[in-house]
Amino acid sequence: MSGSVHHSSGRSGRWFLAIIGIWVACAGGVFIWLMARSFARALEMRSWAEVSCVILTAETEERRHDEFSAPEYRQSVSFGYEWKGAPHTGTHLTLRDNPWSADKQSIEQQNAALPPGSTTTCRVNPANPDFAVLKLDSLAPLYAIWFPALFVVGGLGMAVRAVKHRPENC
């Protein structure tokens, strides 16, 4: 009787490891998908039209989550551009909006690099000309996609090994 209990608990342990391996592989797969999607968007942005734009404002915006939290800052910028003869105003530095930071000095330096009245280039989304950005998103997610791929390979390897492993004493 004790041999059958040992064999049954060994089988359930192997299935438990297989489930954990599949879970790890799925988690890695989700991160691969997120990184691939981010890379695809950044790559698509490179096909957006590059147009001249004029900086209208560049200010430092401040927020606090509550009275006890440290302040956060972000660049609040607006710029004017023309698309197919129609004037537009943009407010996005990047596709994901303007990031918040605890480093006020860095934000103020970025603002100083964009004085009102200066001319620069922006990228306009041809599918939605009301949306333009000053900075392209990075292609870096493609360079780092190997890391979550390790979790997919390792998780699947763990699951396959757990299911295929046969105890030697049975």
| Residue recorded with tokens 């997610």 | 141
**Beta-carbon-side half-sphere exposure of residue 101 (alpha carbons within 13 Å):** 15
Q: Could you read off the pLDDT tens digit of each residue along the chain, which spans 170 residues?
A: 445 445 556 678 888 989 999 999 999 999 999 999 999 999 999 999 999 999 999 999 999 988 898 999 999 999 999 999 999 999 999 888 788 889 999 999 999 999 999 999 999 999 999 999 999 988 888 888 899 999 999 999 999 988 886 666 55
| Residue recorded with tokens 């690099």 | 113
pLDDT digits (tens, 9 = 90+) for 75-101: 999 999 999 999 999 999 988 878 888
Angle between helices 146-164 and 2-45 (to 10 degrees): 160
Exposed/middle/buried for residue 82 (C-beta within 10 Å: 0-12, 13-18, 19+):
middle
Confirm if 48 and 126 have CB atoms less than 8 A apart: yes
> In whole angstroms, what is the distance from residue 44 CA to residue 39 CA?
9
